[in-house]
Amino acid sequence: MSNIIAIVGRPNVGKSTLFNRLTESRKAIVDDFSGVTRDRHYGVAEWTDKQFTVIDTGGYVANSEDVFEAAIREQVIIAIEEATVLLFMVDVTTGITDLDDEIAQLLRRSKKPVFTVINKVDNTALEHEAPIFYSFGLGEIYTISSMTGSGTGELLDDVVKHFEDAPEEENSLPKITVVGRPNVGKSSLVNALMGIERNIVTPIAGTTRDSIHIHYNQFGHEFMFIDTAGLRKKTKVKENIEFYSVMRTIKALEEADVVILMIDAQEGLESQDINIFHLAEKNKKGIVVLVNKWDLVEKNNKTMKVFEDQIRQKLQPFTDVPIIFTSVLNKQRIFKAIETALEVYKNRGKKIPTSKLNDVMLPIIESYPPPALKGKYIKIKYITQINGVSPMFAFFCNLPQYIKEPYKRFIENKLRENFDFSGVPIQIYFRQK
Ligand code: GDP
Ligand code: GDP
């Protein structure tokens, strides 16, 4: 289930400071690709075991003065539509401004939970200034300091109460979605596949979910397509096109098991695509990369390999991902794309019996053990796959804390070499035994 927190508010109130605070702890663990993600305004965060996506709306606003307020206003409207919970941030040191009032007016019409967050309350003296913000008429107020983190725990405790739990599976079919920048060919693909019959089109009753689920059942393949392309609305402010599509993408991605990331062969893999890729990876989704409009590329017998290598280079460190070259226009390899997505789905649910895992991995570990640290030898005794929606492995050993990243990567590579986990992020844990 997608749980999205959108931070809205005028510039300079501290939105991105809070965003960084919420997403950082996690970043340290999984996000060692900061170089490519600097322009990121959405990220994964966690509070009391609940994972969610945070969006800093300010990041999408253009700098030019004339579109500025209109852009902010529209982003608030989009956030109201798309987010699970809205954090309306204001600044205690400036009091209420006209733009704050305008945003509050939009938020009062929202049916979604709105938390009024008074930021920059760095000390108790400032605490006394906070009650004026009750005048928004948006209910309870929360005082925080994004800089020090004070108050953020109390805020999040209340925010997560509004999260939607994963619904009872309406069925156990694979859920596939196609994401990518505008114009790469997403709707063309869905239309090409669904041309013959459009079985089920729903907003599913009883949930707030509003993406369209299409039941595909042809040629021996059955799955659900989570389609958002058809729901893409026109925005009045051109700067918000990306913001809107990012919101949609995040929702589709969180609902799906396998994400088809479609790129345009003529444009290649850009930083936005890489951000989406990493978001899918962090959400432990299966991934297939489609390089579409292959018909438009002038090619010889090396072109595909060169393309593939370049893409993998940019996807590092998670490069064990199928890359397929399609022309939706010519219907070239579109079924192959679907078949691959379904294989990735299988890989994601794959369970390796413990005996097999140990038979294969222990000899590898024996011939290439983790390097000794401070004169201490690390002994991995046995391995087991942990139950979960995506592959997780526990390696039991005497000194788990001594195992470093390179060895972990080595283990991951060996798992991938011996068992097909193509397209699937895998988690490896070293545990005390
Ligand atoms: P945004 O435009 O809403 O994303 O705001 P920023 O996060 O960029 O913050 C604007 C300014 O306010 C920066 O100089 C921050 O360092 C500062 N700021 C953010 N949070 C706090 C806070 O809790 N206390 C204080 N004193 N300053 C803050
Ligand atoms: P979306 O915004 O990602 O849903 O992209 P669309 O499906 O609307 O496609 C954008 C444009 O690219 C349309 O004019 C399509 O006809 C065109 N297009 C889609 N796939 C291909 C392809 O494989 N080759 C070529 N040459 N054009 C394509």
Residue 13 Cα: closest atom of ligand 1: 3
The pLDDT, as a whole number, for residue 114 is: 96
More confidently predicted of 328 and 45: 328
The pLDDT, as a whole number, for residue 224 is: 85
Residue 327 Cα: closest atom of ligand 2: 23
Instruction: Retrieve residue 217's tokens.
Output: 């059942």
The pLDDT, as a whole number, for residue 136 is: 94
What is this structure's pTM? 0.72
Average pLDDT in the 402-409 region? 92
Determine whether the shortest distance from the Cβ of 333 to ligand 2 is under 6 A: no
CA 403 to chain CA centroid, Å, is 28
| 182 in a known ligand binding site | yes
| 228 in a known ligand binding site | yes
Contact yes or no for 61/75 (Cβ under 8 A): yes
Determine whether the shortest distance from the Cβ of 99 to ligand 1 is under 6 A: no
Least confident window among 34-38, 132-136, 222-226: 34-38
Cβ neighbour number for residue 169 with a 10 Å cutoff: 8
Strand partners, 288: 260
- What is the percent of the chain with per-residue pLDDT over 90, rounded to a whole number? 53
**List of long-range contacts for 277-280, beta carbons under 8 Å, 24+ apart:** 277/315, 278/31, 278/33, 278/37, 279/42, 279/43, 279/44, 279/53, 279/250, 279/253, 280/179, 280/253
| 59 in a known ligand binding site | yes
3-state secondary structure of 383: strand
Residue 89 Cα: closest atom of ligand 1: 3
Question: Which of 16, 17, 123, when mutated, tests ligand 1's pocket best, judged by the most ligand atoms within 8 Å of its CB?
Answer: 17
Instruction: Retrieve residue 268's tokens.
Output: 């290649």
Determine whether the shortest distance from the Cβ of 122 to ligand 1 is under 6 A: yes
Average pLDDT in the 216-236 region? 69
CA-to-CA distance for 287 and 54, rounded, in angstroms?
21
Determine whether the shortest distance from the Cβ of 334 to ligand 2 is under 6 A: no
Contact yes or no for 114/280 (Cβ under 8 A): no
Determine whether the shortest distance from the Cβ of 229 to ligand 2 is under 6 A: yes
Q: For residue 36, is pLDDT > 50?
A: no
Over the chain, what is the mean pLDDT?
84
Query: What would the pLDDT profile of 233-266 be if each residue is shown by its tens digit?
Result: 556 666 676 777 777 788 888 889 999 999 999 9
Instruction: Retrieve residue 357's tokens.
Output: 């895992």
Q: For residue 59, is pLDDT > 90?
A: no
CA-to-CA distance for 357 and 349, rounded, in angstroms?
16
| 230 in a known ligand binding site | yes
| pLDDT band per the 50, 70, 90 thresholds, residue 60 | low
Q: For residue 32, is pLDDT > 70?
A: no
Least confident window among 161-165, 193-197, 375-379, 428-432: 193-197
CA-to-CA distance for 45 and 31, rounded, in angstroms?
12
CA-to-CA distance for 69 and 99, rounded, in angstroms?
8
3-state secondary structure of 113: coil
Instruction: Select, from the ranges 44-53, 186-195, 359-368, the one with the highest average predicted confidence (pLDDT).
Output: 359-368
Contact yes or no for 294/326 (Cβ under 8 A): yes
Determine whether the shortest distance from the Cβ of 105 to ligand 2 is under 6 A: no
Distance 212 CA to ligand 1 centre (A): 38
The pLDDT, as a whole number, for residue 31 is: 40
The pLDDT, as a whole number, for residue 61 is: 54
Query: What would the pLDDT profile of 179-192 be if each residue is shown by its tens digit?
Result: 988 889 988 888 88
| 47 in a known ligand binding site | no
